[in-house]
Structure 1
């Protein structure tokens, strides 16, 4: 319906009768006399409802989700899944391709993925389990022996840990 030639009062009344559910409750909650013109009600309506609307990201957005060089695998997978929820209707084949492509090159997982002909999403997650266990074990080791974490050996905590390990070796 064309409303270009219609008076503002008629537009406001037309809007009022076409609203449903949440929009109707919002309209009825407006204080009496708070809206004086069509431009005012239309901008108030749009400001209220557009601000609350979540827009989904395009599928190509996921191609920007990459594992950083020093980022743990679990962190990358969590990040990918968080961002995946921002994209509507993602075919499994695209998810499969994009999560694999996002693995940082030169990691052991990346090398293993390169050696396989066709990696399904299930196969990818099965492979990551092995590397997540290794990552978890390395994190536990570095908590018990900070010198294994690759951090600077001159920190006070590392010096103490090295002395403890040296004393245990004697």
Structure 2
């Protein structure tokens, strides 16, 4: 707690209330810290500034001197908010993506592509098959297929 945060260091704009996905929050925080290159002790102090509400209450109630490193703090944080983690996507989720009746092909392709990136799929034939199944039937989609 004795370390002073340099004045030119930008505080992360992300906040965590205790209801969000802890992994997503840590990812956003790590991304910010990669840009500003703060040392471990600065990371701990800045991370505290991203917590609000019950999440700040949790942090404040940690025993004095309990946290000795940022990796330890992230481990404690993940353990505390494990129930908030988003369920992992599985390849079957791709089969649930359907083009909405009024959705443009571009919008559908964007949603579909986002899910493919999340799943980190490599099987092109399967992706093409699933994509074709998700398009709204009609003359354009039939010609595209």
TM more than 0.5: no
Structure-1-length-normalised TM-score: 0.38
- Does 1 or 2 have the higher relative contact order (CA < 8 Å, sep 6+)? 2
Which of structures 1 and 2 has the bigger CA Rg?
A: 1
